[in-house]
Amino acid sequence: MTQLDPRSCNLRAHTNNSKGETDSLAGHLESAADLAGKFAQPFGGGDIAWLAGRLHDIGKAIPGFQDYLRRIEAGERVSKGPPHAIWGAALAHRVLSKRPALWGPVVLSVLGHHGGLSAAGEAVTRLTEFLRDRDEGIKDLIRSLAQSGLLKGSLREPASNAELFIRMVFSALTDADYLATEAHFDSSQGKSRGGGPPLRDLWQRFETDQARTFENVAGEAGRLNTVRHEVYDSCLSAARLQPGLFRLTVPTGGGKTRSSLAFALQHALAHGLQRIFVVLPYTSIIEQTARVFRAALGEDAVLEHHSQVPMGDGSESQDETALRLRLATENWDAPVVVTTTVQFFESLFSNRPGKVRKLHNVAQSVIVLDEVQALPVELLRPTMEGVRLLTLEYGCTVVLCTATQPAVDETPYLPELANAEIHEIVPGYATHFQTLKRVRYEIRQDPLSWGEVAAVVKDLRQVMVILNTRRDAVALLDALGLHDGVFHLSTLLCGKHRRAILRLIRCRLRKGQPVKLISTQVVEAGVDLDFPEVWRAVGPLDRIVQAAGRCNREGRLPELGKVVVFHPADGRQPAGPYRIGCELARTILERRAGDDLHDPDTYREYFQRLFSCADLDKKQVQEAREALDFPEVARRYRMIEETVPVVVSHAGSETALERWRAKPSRAAWRGLQPYLVNFFHYEAKQFADDGYMEQVGEGLYRWLGRYDSTRGVAPGLLDPADLIQ
């Protein structure tokens, strides 16, 4: 028996908890292995993840690490202990060096379960150097573990795509390690994870709520109600089809949100799928969608996930604060998860433990990609490859859901979906666009100054103006002047404040009171607003049509609503595909009548032309994926520039912040989430240097400057949402 034998009852995995209880290394390895195997079972990686769990912390058996734990408990200020993850990785490297299909998921997962997945080539170099001085010790450990039965004799090699399979096993291992650790330090947190009502109960709740919803609108807006019934019935019929790739095309106001949930619940029940993900591009839509789902399904069924817990440098530190930060990260274990496009897809391509730990819970689930047209064009090839693999190899059903479908299966520029079979959930969707024609488009050809736009807006009682950038919105606000009835929305207002403004706007709209809303793009996809008139700066064609969906949404006006598309003389446009989309839209609008915007074929032409003009893998993510260079994949696959969460001053924010600082946990982070805005890193540094904000935790700041109830924080800032293209 070697000094590294983790079976020794005297070895510990962590410091004692607050009750003085010991977490034995042998017990921790067993718990983590069993959980990892369970998590990976749905995608055929159970035995492989089990082995990774057995090996991940064996390096904690070295005397130096055990002494490190004792010094922490003695109150010494110890920055970090000896590295431990590399020991299990080195052992796996020796055992599996001739089985490359197993080497990647076990070795890279164990090596990176604290610091993140490394590039395969870099891992080989590190492990080779590590083994030069320790090869005999590793051989002894292999013999000892083989004799004890801790290493299984046979492992089935995966048939899956290597890159995503490694990431999935890494997710299962990381989540298992975090949960086993959490059970030792704070069992109450463990009780808050998992569970939730079974999907069959959720369907019964939803069916009752849906019947009440249909009953409440019976006789109102007859055409609209008829279309919503037809869409709903089509979703129930399609739910019986085999899992795969689906398309749900519904005009704005056609009941897409609730009908897609009905499809997801029924489809999951019909095929034994485990949970439902609804993925949306903007925080404002998430808040609204989660609210609708909670009303129908119950508070205990829905996880609303915007931003991730700020993490440190991925070190192996065992001090309490570092451990709590790691354990507080989200793992998507609720029956219904409503999250952002950024959270979902950057997790699919990340290499960081805190981001990837939740990924294994995506397997065998229904994924509704709502407002799918908003996916970043320059990342579309790797994104669609991820979608394809989830459906083919991980038992998922993916629904491409929008009123303006991108022609992802009808272009030679997306070979990932060249042979994909996409089931249309509503075969007769084209007729619904004509049936639900509720607006007329007016195209203004001559550019308008902010003063000219403001002069028109002042004379309108209820109007929404949507602009391409936040700076444009601020410029129009300045020209219009702030007075009663003028509102502004952007992601630089915290979520709680944004929700309050939306409630007030809806109330004033219902009462016929003046409402002049100046906004960025964040309100135009899925946000439940109903204006008689909408002005939209020329933008990508799908954005114009989405903006029109906020006009006469419920079809209650005695005549068609009015959508004015105009050219701001001093307006700005985000660079890249967004600007290309603006020019394509301008060209199409010059030669087509406004009525053509009610024809779905118009969008098919638009997206085919857009895909031919843009580089759909501009950052060459696919190349890095093929090389198994996980850090490079994560660096290249960025939907928006990385941001820093900042707590603003708002009723309740100080209490939520103190709760987080006193005891970081998943529940505390969820409580803090409504009070956050996000700054780019370079902005955060400048504001911190200028004294406008202070750091209050690892990667978390508090805003000390002015927070304007109309404009939010620092009116000159760029809006991160402007970069989602």
The pLDDT, as a whole number, for residue 327 is: 46
At 647 the pLDDT is 92
Kindly report, residue by residue over 444-465, the tens digit of the pLDDT. 989 999 999 999 999 999 999 9
| Structural contact between residues 192 and 670, judged by C-beta atoms closer than 8 angstroms | no
- In this predicted structure, the answer to whether residue 289 has a pLDDT above a threshold of 50 is yes
Where is pLDDT greater, at 80 or 293? 293
Domain assignment present for 610:
no
Residue appearing with tokens 């991980």 = 394
474 and 579 assigned to the same domain: yes
How far is Cα of residue 472 from the mean position of the Cα atoms in its chain? 27
Residue 97 in 3-state DSSP? coil
Which stretches within 80-221 are classed as H helix? 85-96, 100-103, 109-111, 120-132, 135-148, 162-185, 187-191, 199-217
Confidence (pLDDT) at 601 = 83
721 falls in which pLDDT band (50, 70, 90)? very low
Listed residues 155, 185, 215: the one ending a domain: 185
418 lies in the same domain as 471: no
Amino acid at 646: V
| HSE of 36, CA atoms in CB hemisphere, 13 A | 35
Answer yes or no: do 588 and 649 share one domain.
Answer: no
Q: Is residue 114 part of a domain?
A: yes
Query: Which of the four pLDDT bands, split at 50, 70 and 90, describes residue 644?
Result: confident
* Residue range 642-666: mean pLDDT, rounded: 84
In a domain, 635, yes or no: no
pLDDT at position 151, please? 54
Q: Distance of CA 48 to CAs 17, 40, 117, 614, Å?
A: 30, 8, 16, 40
Q: Is the pLDDT of residue 341 over 80?
A: yes
Which residues form the domain of 230? Answer: 199-431
| pLDDT classification of 323: cutoffs 50, 70, 90 | very low
Backbone torsions φ then ψ of 388, nearest 5 degrees: -60, -45
Q: Are residues 354 and 475 in the same domain?
A: no
User: Do strands 707-708 and 712-713 pair parallel, antiparallel, or not at all (unpaired)?
Assistant: antiparallel
Residue-level pLDDT at 287: 77
Mean pLDDT computed over every residue of the chain: 85
Flag whether 88 is in a domain.
yes
Statement: residue 191 has pLDDT above 70: no
**How far is it, in rounded angstroms, from Cα 622 to Cα 382?**
6
Q: Are 549 and 452 contained in the same domain?
A: yes
Q: What is the pLDDT averaged over residues 133-145?
A: 67
* Three-class SS state of 713: strand
Do 449 and 583 share a structural domain? yes
Does position 259 have pLDDT exceeding 70, yes or no?
yes
Pairing mode of beta strands 700-703, 643-647: parallel
Q: HSE (CB half, 13 Å, CA atoms) of 270?
A: 16
Measured between alpha carbons, how far is 217 from 227 in angstroms, rounded to an integer?
Answer: 12
DSSP-derived letter for residue 693 is E
Q: Which of 151, 185, 219 is the last residue of a domain?
A: 185
- Quick count: other Cβ atoms within 10 Å of Cβ 562? 20
| Residue 673: inside a domain | yes
* pLDDT at position 148 over 70: no
| pLDDT tens digits, 684-699 | 888 888 888 898 887 8
Closest CA to 625 of 358, 377, 349, 352: 349
**Which of 144-153, 527-536, 667-676 reaches the highest mean pLDDT?**
527-536
Token look-up 């912390």 returns: 57
User: Does 603 reside within a domain?
Assistant: no
Contacts 24+ apart (CB under 8 A), 60-67: 60/6, 60/11, 60/12, 60/13, 60/25, 60/84, 61/3, 61/4, 61/5, 61/6, 61/8, 61/11, 61/25, 61/87, 62/3, 62/4, 62/87, 63/3, 66/11, 66/12
pLDDT value for 297: 94
- pLDDT value at residue 660: 84
Same domain, 164 and 121: yes
Q: Which residues contact 582 (CB under 8 A, 6 or more apart)?
A: 468, 538, 539, 540, 573
Q: How many helices (H) and strands (E) does the chain have?
A: 30, 19
- What's the pLDDT band for 720 if we cut at 50, 70, 90? very low
User: Domain holding 230: CATH number?
Assistant: 3.40.50.300
Q: Quick one: average pLDDT of 59-88?
A: 87
User: 598, 628, 660: which is the final residue of a domain?
Assistant: 598
626 belongs to a structural domain: no
Assess whether pLDDT exceeds 60 at residue 718. Answer: no
pLDDT at 141: 66
- pLDDT 10s digits, 349-380: 999 998 899 999 999 999 999 999 989 999 99
**16: nearest Cα among 57, 59, 72:** 72
When pLDDT is cut at 50, 70 and 90, the band that residue 51 belongs to is very high
Contacts of 610 (CB under 8 A, 6+ apart): 377, 540, 577, 580, 581, 584
- 539 and 553 inside one domain: yes
Element (H, E) at 441: strand 439-443
- Statement: residue 317 has pLDDT above 70: no
pLDDT in tens, 194-237: 668 999 999 999 999 998 877 655 544 577 788 899 999 999 99
Same domain, 80 and 157: yes
Average pLDDT, integer, range 317-340: 67
| Same domain? 397 vs 273 | yes
CA dist., res. 168 & res. 46, Å (int)? 11
CA pair distance 519, 539, nearest whole angstrom: 14
pLDDT of res. 236: 97
The CA angle 177-392-52, to the nearest 5 degrees, is 20
Average pLDDT value for residue range 22-43: 94
Highest mean pLDDT (candidates 94-98, 321-325, 476-480): 476-480
pLDDT at 263 over 90: yes
Q: Do 386 and 456 lie in a common domain?
A: no
pLDDT band (50, 70, 90) for residue 135: low
Helix or strand or coil: residue 297? helix
Burial class (CB in 10 A: 0-12, 13-18, 19+), 500: middle
pLDDT score recorded for residue 724: 37
Domain presence at residue 609: no
Give the CA-trace dihedral at 75, 76, 79, 82, to 10 degrees.
Answer: -100
Percent over 70 (pLDDT), the chain:
87
Rounded average pLDDT over 116-145: 82
The number of folded domains in the chain is 4
- Residues 378 and 229 both lie in one domain: yes
